[in-house]
Each structure stands twice: as structure tokens, then as C-alpha cells.
Amino acid sequence: MKWRGRRQSSNVEDRRGMGMGGKTAIGGGIGSIIVILLFTLLGGNPGDLTNNTPTTNGTNPNTPMNVSSQEEELADFVSVVLADTEDVWSEEFKEQGLEYEEPKLVLYRDSVQSACGSASSAVGPFYCPGDHKLYIDLSFYEQLRQRFQAPGDFAMAYVIAHEVGHHVQTLLHAGEQATPEQKRSNEHSVRFELQADYLAGVWAHHAKGKGYLEEGDLEEALAAANAVGDDNIQKKSQGYVVPESFTHGTSQQRKRWFYKGFENGTLEGGDTFNEADL
């Protein structure tokens, strides 16, 4: 992705040098990490698995010590991608007669407090609708590359765009017509996540139109979508799949909806809640 030298977002809150002031409720161990990833990876609400006590967020950046040049470069990249999403969604909302509220992106290390509760980096990147903020531990880039075998900067861009997609859903009140019982169902969760994948694809469509994509970028995003499908994660973690436990969609579904958004490039066509066949 062509990102160097472009505008960075002013909506990045750097908490990498801040502690939580307490232990996160999420335990350690690879088994726990896999369970959490199955539930919250790329858009889940960590508050459902953690201590749900809201906390007051810090507002002043606290520059971390001993930051590698590679990590700082990744932080710059994330900021540029966030700026791109701001441009795209501001324009899309304007076309709908709406005003886009830009979300904040919080960089943290190891653990963090949000309006959704406390969370460890094991949950992966997530969006909290309670404070309209995205939370990312930059170490996830290495997890994406090594554990999920989805390398490349545009794979990480897809992750960010997916979380921003959840913010777009919040602003548009997506899926709120569902009953409380429906909202608690796995099917509703899958549809919600696939819609965020679609919205990530819409962003990628406009990024291509602006000339930001390079050869292989689309394939990197599709590889990432494939890697984080429920079926793929379950196969790797336990050797078999349990479809009724899916919360984010299969690899094929995630790729399909991202690519559909990439082709369409508009909000229209992403109504997963009324799609008979996902």
C-alpha cells in the first residue's frame, strides 16, 4: 500500500506507555487466547468476556520507552489508514445527507481499559461502541503474519478498516431492529461481523480509486479475511469445526463480503441482516 508521506490522522491516542492500574480479567495461556480470539477477533466486544466496569479514559498521550523503529513505522502506517477511512466515510455519509463522526484509535500495549471494560492484547483489535474508539496493540501485526499466515501491510489495513466498519454500523444503528433475543444469537453476530467486512471492502474500493493500492494488496486483505474465519481458527485450534458456535463467519463468507464491498464501493449492498444466503 502506498502510504508514506500521506496525511496521518489526528485521532490517534497513544497509551503504549500507560499501565491499566490493575490486572485484566482475561487470563493467560494459549488455550485462553484461542477461546478469546474465537469470540472477539476483529470486532468482538471484549466487555462480554472481561470485567465490565467502565473507566475514565486518559486524554494525554504518554510516549512509551524503548520503541523500535519498526513499531513506530507501524504506528505511522495505522494513522495513515485511519486518515483514509476518515476521508472515505466522511464523503459517503455526506452523500447520504449525514455527518460522519470520526472515531478515536487507541494504541496500547498488553492491556487496556475502555468503556467496554478491561481487555488484554489477546482479544486482538476491537471496537468499543461505548466510547466510539478502536483499540489496537501493534503486536497484532506479528500475530497476523506468523500465527495466521496473513502477512503484508494491507492485511493490517483490512483489520483497521473492519474495526472502523463497526463504528460505521454504530453511527447508522445497524441491526438495531432485531429483538434482544436475536441480538444474542450467533447468527446475528455473524451477520454483524460480515457487514463490517463489507464496509472494509467499501473502504478498500475507494483506496484503490485514489491510487493507494499496490499489486498484491487485495490478495493480502483476502488472505487475512480467510485466516480469521471461524472455521479456519477452529480447525487450527482444535482440529474440527462447530458451525453452530460461529460468531464471525466462515473464511469463505468473510472473503465474499469483503470482496462484495470492494466491488460495490457503496453502503448499498451491505445489508447482511436481510440477506437470505450469506
Q: What is the pLDDT of residues 132-155, one digit of tens each?
A: 999 999 999 999 999 889 999 999
Residues near 196 by Cβ (< 8 Å), separated by ≥ 6? 42, 43, 162, 163, 165, 166, 169
Residue that is written with C-alpha cell 500475530 in the block? 143
Report the alpha-carbon distance of residue 131 to residue 137 in Å, rounded. 18
Cβ atoms of 159 and 224 within 8 Å: the answer is yes
50 pLDDT band, cuts 50/70/90, is: very low
Q: Is the pTM of this model over 0.75?
A: yes
Residue 119 pLDDT > 70, yes or no? yes
pLDDT band, residue 57 (cuts 50/70/90) = very low
- Nearest in space to 126 (alpha carbons), one of 92, 177, 160: 160
* Percent of the residues in the chain that have a pLDDT greater than 90, as a whole number: 73
The Cα–Cα gap between 9 and 5 comes to 12
pLDDT interval class at 182 (50, 70, 90): confident
Distance CA 150, CA 156 (A): 9
User: What average pLDDT does the segment 116-127 reach?
Assistant: 94
β-partners of residue 104 are 133
